[in-house]
Homo-oligomer: A and B are copies of this chain.
Amino acid sequence: VSRGRPPPGEFELIAAFTRALPLRGEGLVLGPGDDAAILAPPAGEELCATVDAVEEGVHFDRRFTPFDVGWKALAVNLSDLAAMGARPLWALVALGVPAGTPAARLAGVARGLGACARRHGIAVAGGNVSRAPGLSVTVTVVGSVPRGRALRRQGARPGDAVLVSGTLGEAALGLERGARARFARRQRRPEPRLALGRALLGLASAAIDLSDGLVQDLGHLCQASGVGASVRLAELPLSPAYLAATAGRSDPWAPALSGGEDYELCVTVPVRKVRAALAAAARAGTPLAVVGTVTRARGVQVARPTGGRHPVGRGHDHLAALRRLAARRGAPLTSRPDNIGSIRP
C-alpha cells in the first residue's frame, strides 16, 4: 500500500525505460507527463482497442533478451489490431518491475518496444511503472478503422475461402531446446500483419490472428460466425525449414496446426473476392494462401491429401509437454492476445 516518490535510483530506472520510447505521433495531443494523455481520434473513424500482458516465467523466459520481451509485448497487441484491419496509433505501457531489476534490463525492454513502435509508426501515449514480483509488460493499444468497416470474427459464410498469411508452425518450433535461430526469432519477434489486415478491409468476411494455432483460432472465428471449416493439409503454408525440421516426426503437422504464436492472420473471403484479396496481399507484400473452405457443418476439420481426416485434438495440447518445459513458473493460464470475453465458456 504505497504510492509515492521512488528512491533516487528508481527515477533512473524509469528514465531508462522512457528514454527509448517514441513519445510523439499522429493524434497525440499530449503525451506522457500529465495525469492522462490527450488523443485526437481521426475524424470519421472508429477506434479499436485491446490489452495484453507478457509475464516473466509465463510468456517469456531467460532465452528472451529484454529487447525480445519489449518487442513481443507490443507486437502481440498489434497483431490483434491487424486482425481488425485497424491502423495502429497509440500504446500505453504498464511495467511491473521486481526489486533489484538493473536499469539496463528495463532499457532493453524499452528499446525492443520502441523499435516495434517505430516500425509501425505508433507513439507511446502513456504508461505506469510499478513494483511487482516478476517482470511484466502490459500493453494497451489503440488503432483506427473507417467507421463500420472493422474486420470481425463474425461474418464468415459457408462457401467462403479460408486463407492464412505467411507460414505456420515456426514460432512453436522456436520454443524447442536448441531451436534454429530462424524459429527462435519467429517466437520472440513476431511481425504483426498490419498492412495485410488493412488491405483486406472490404474483402475479408471475417478475420482472426493466430495466437493459439490454426485449428483453435479458426475454431473461434467459426464459432463467432456460426459456421465450420475444412482445412486442406496439403495447402498449409509451410517453410522449407519447417518441413526439414519436422520430417520424420510422429506428427509433423502439429506445430503448424496447433502450435500457436505465429501471429499470422486467418481470414475468410467470399469466393468472388479471393483474386482481389490475393492481389491486395501481394501489394501489401504479405504472402497469403488459400487453405480451406467455410462449411455449414460446425467444427474445424483437417482433410488429408490422400482422403480422410487428419485427427486434431484440442489445439495446442499436442505441444503441452513442450510448453510445460518452457513455462518455468505456475501452470499457464490463458493469455490469448484478444479481448477478455472470447475466452469465456
Cα separation A315 to B4 with both chains bound (whole Å): 8
A115 within 8 A of B: no
User: A340, B2: Cβ atoms under 8 Å?
Assistant: no
8 Å CB interface, A53-91 against B: 53, 55, 57-61, 80-81, 83-84, 86, 90
A323 within 8 A of B: yes
A295 within 8 A of B: no
Cα separation A5 to B190 with both chains bound (whole Å): 20
Instruction: Give the distance to chain B from A53, nearest Cβ to Cβ, in Å.
Output: 5
Instruction: Give the distance to chain B from A98, nearest Cβ to Cβ, in Å.
Output: 7
Given contacts A34-B152, A150-B30, A316-B5, contact A332 B51 (CB under 8 A): no
* Cβ–Cβ < 8 Å partners of A341 in chain B: 18, 23, 31-33, 126-127
User: A187, B1: Cβ atoms under 8 Å?
Assistant: yes
User: B39, A48: Cβ atoms under 8 Å?
Assistant: yes
User: B131, A134: Cβ atoms under 8 Å?
Assistant: no
Cα separation A60 to B130 with both chains bound (whole Å): 13
User: A36, B81: Cβ atoms under 8 Å?
Assistant: yes
* Cβ–Cβ < 8 Å partners of A344 in chain B: 11, 14-15, 18, 32-33
A147 within 8 A of B: yes
Given contacts A10-B333, A38-B84, A216-B5, contact A32 B340 (CB under 8 A): yes
* Cβ–Cβ < 8 Å partners of A209 in chain B: 35
Q: How many copies of the polypeptide does the oligomer hold?
A: 2
User: B84, A340: Cβ atoms under 8 Å?
Assistant: no
A222 within 8 A of B: no
* Cβ–Cβ < 8 Å partners of A14 in chain B: 334, 340, 343-344
Instruction: Give the distance to chain B from A342, nearest Cβ to Cβ, in Å.
Output: 5
Binds B, one of A135-143, A235-243, A245-253, A277-285: A135-143
A327 within 8 A of B: yes
User: A36, B338: Cβ atoms under 8 Å?
Assistant: yes
User: B343, A6: Cβ atoms under 8 Å?
Assistant: yes
Q: What are 29 residue pairs bridging A and B, where the CB atoms are less than 8 Å apart in the complex? A: A1-B323, A3-B261, A4-B323, A5-B314, A11-B343, A11-B345, A12-B345, A13-B333, A15-B345, A33-B342, A34-B152, A34-B338, A35-B50, A35-B209, A36-B86, A39-B46, A39-B47, A41-B41, A51-B94, A55-B132, A58-B130, A94-B94, A99-B333, A128-B337, A128-B339, A129-B334, A131-B333, A132-B134, A133-B133
